[in-house]
Amino acid sequence: MAEAMAVKTTEGWVSERLRRMVATPHELHATSIRGGTLVLIIVAVLFVPHFAEFGNLQSIMYSLAAVGIGAVGMALVTLSGNLFMLSMGATAAFSTVVFASLISLGLLPTMLLVVAAGTLIGLIQGVLIGAADTNPIITTIAAASMITGFGVLWTGGITVVGHGQATWLGFGRVFGLIPNQILVMLIFAGIAGFVMQKTRLGREIRLIGMQRDVARVAGLRLIAATMFCYGFAGAAAALAGSLIASSSAQGNLTYGIDLDFNAIAAVLVGGVSIRGGRGRVGDAVVGAMFLSIIGNVLLVSGVSYEYQLVVKGAVVLASVIIGALLGQWAPRLRRRVGAAR
């Protein structure tokens, strides 16, 4: 019986893959954004002067790295069914200050400490949301003002100048080609993706995000999963803060404060369902990539700032609308692909 199944599965692998790509609304959305990003890159390479120059591609990577990491963290929170974490910007800003204060210890210990601090900040919120069952949006809003408050208390609003070397992270490149920052992002996203897709904890997070009550009756570890997501998102914000602070080895409570909305936009554009449980970490990274490329194309074509904002807003709104429309077409498409099979 099992053997027969295995044979059937191998034969059906390609069509199964195809079915998977359009099976659910968020998958369909994610697939289209991946396609859209590809089309965008091709169009930009062909029609936007200077776009394909190596320096420009690098600058896209630099502008992507921190937001991409933030989007990965945000995606975990969204997948766990807790919508958005609105304290990521504050955490990132706070982390730039911690980074600059500690950088004299050396880059690696500093990054580890900063990420540990961010994890702790996230974990505290995770405990409140997971164990005390508080509303995630309001809890993180409140946390954001308290994090900023403590930040001001500590620094007095002054830019903290670090005494140490952070150039490996700020400017370093592998073989002089790929910025180290983008490597850090890829490794981070890879870890998150592995946890979410391959591990027990990741499966639990997705199932809890999908239907919390079912997960409770099924005996899944609700509190641990929620705490993990928030801890991880806090770590992501802190890592993003490190990236931002590394270029000048300085920290200030205004650096990276807009990480929240950039990460949310990436999650929305990437097609992670905000109903929770449906979507992948990679989708958020693709969303961030799409937005970075759009932003870069507009900047490079010299479009004025007002129009850049309008276009970015339109992209997010259009992506939301298209995603939702795809959601309604998805069942029909699924039937068709199913029938073809």
Partner 1 sequence: MTAASLSHKPATPVLAARDLSKRYGGIMALQSVGLDLGAGEIHGLCGENGAGKSTFIKILGGLVRPDSGEISVDGRPLALGQRTDPQLISIVHQELAIVPTLSVLDNIMLGMGGTSPFYFAHLVRTQVRQGLDEVGLAHIPLDRKASALSLAERQLVEIARGVARRARVLLLDEPTATLSDAEIKRVFDTARLLRDKGTALVFVSHRLDEVFALTDRVTVFRNGQHVLTERTSDLTSRDLVKAMIGRDLVRGTQKPLSVAADRPARLAIAGLRCGDALKPIDLALAPGEIAGVVGQLGSGADVLVEALAGLRGLVDGQIAIDGRAVVIGSVRDAMKAGIAYVPEDRAGKGIFLDAPVWMNLTASVMGRFSRGGVMQRAAERERGLELAAMFRIDPGRLGSEVATLSGGNQQKVALGKAAALTPRILILNEPTRGVDIGARSEIYATLRRLAEQGLAILFYSTDLEEVLELADRVVTIFRGEVVRSIGRDALDGGEILHDILRGRDDTIVLTQ
Partner 2 sequence: MSGAAWLTRSIRLVLLVALPLGFALTVKHFLSLDNLYAIFQSFAFLGLLALGLSVTMIAGEFDLSVAAMATVAGLVTIKLVVLGPVAAVLCAVMVGTVIGIGNAVLLPWLQISSLVTTVGTMILLNGVGFWLAGGRVLSYDNFDVSDALDQTLLGIFSPRSLITILCFLLIAAFLQFTKLGRDIYASGGHRRAAIQSGARVGLALVVCFAISGAFAALAGSLISLSLATASATLDSTTLLQAAAAAIIGGVALGGGIGSPASVATGVLILTILNNGLGLLSASSTELLLVNGALLLIVVLLDGKAGQALMDLRRKTAQTKRRNVTWQG
Partner 3 sequence: MSQGHKRQNYLRNLMLGTVAAGLLGIFGGAAPAWAAAKGSKVILLTVSQSCEYCALHERAFLKAAAADGINVEVKINNFDAGQQASQVDQAVAEHPDAIVVWPADASAIVPSLRRIKKAGIPLVVTNSMPNPKYQSLWNIYTGPDDLGNGQQAGEAMIQGLKAKGYTGNTDIFVILGVLGTPPQINRLDGFTGVLKAKAPMVKIDGSQPGNWDQTQATDAAAALFTQYGAHIKGVYAEADNMLAGVIVAAQRAGLDPKTLVLVGSNCSVEGVNAITAGTQYATVLQSPIDDGNYAAQAVADLLDGKSVPKTRFLPHPTITAENVAMCNAAIGR
The stretch near partner 3 (CB under 8 A) out of 52-60, 79-87, 201-209, 326-334 is 52-60
Smallest separation, CB 55 to partner 3 (Å): 4
43 binds partner 2, rule: CB under 8 A: no
Q: Provide the 10 A C-beta neighbour count for residue 339.
A: 7
For residue 189, the Cα-to-chain-centroid distance in whole angstroms is 8
Q: Provide the 10 A C-beta neighbour count for residue 289.
A: 24
- Amino acid identity, residue 124? I
Among partner 1, partner 3, partner 2, none, partner that 183 touches (CB below 5 to 8 angstroms by kind): none
268 binds partner 2, rule: CB under 8 A: yes
277 binds partner 1, rule: CB under 8 A: yes
93, two tokens? 């800003």
- Rounded to whole angstroms, how far apart are CA atoms 142 and 153? 16
Nearest CB to partner 3, comparing residues 134 and 248: 248
Per rule CB under 8 A, count of chain residues that contact partner 3 = 39
For residue 241, the Cα-to-chain-centroid distance in whole angstroms is 14
Q: Which of 40, 141, 201, 311 binds partner 1 (CB under 8 A)?
A: 201
127, two tokens? 């405990």
Report the phi/psi class of residue 163: left, alpha or beta, with left for phi > 0 and alpha for psi in -120 to 50: beta
Among partner 3, partner 2, partner 1, none, partner that 312 touches (CB below 5 to 8 angstroms by kind): partner 2
259 binds partner 2, rule: CB under 8 A: no
Per rule CB under 8 A, count of chain residues that contact partner 1 = 30
Which residue(s) pair with 178 in the sheet? 174
**Torsion angle (degrees, nearest 10) of CA 325, 321, 316, 236:** -50
Smallest separation, CB 50 to partner 1 (Å): 45
Nearest CB to partner 3, comparing residues 55 and 219: 55
Q: Which of 15, 135, 199, 254 binds partner 1 (CB under 8 A)?
A: 199
**DSSP class of 84:** -
Count Cβ atoms within 10 A of the Cβ of residue 277 and give its class: 0-12 exposed, 13-18 middle, 19 or more buried. buried
Count Cα atoms within 13 angstroms, Cβ side, for 44.
24
Write out the residues near partner 2 by the rule CB under 8 A: 83, 86, 128, 131-135, 137-139, 141-146, 148-150, 152-153, 261, 264-265, 268, 274-275, 304-314, 316-321, 323-325, 327-328
Write out the residues near partner 1 by the rule CB under 8 A: 1-2, 5, 8, 16, 23-24, 198-201, 203-204, 206-207, 210-211, 213-221, 277-278, 332, 335
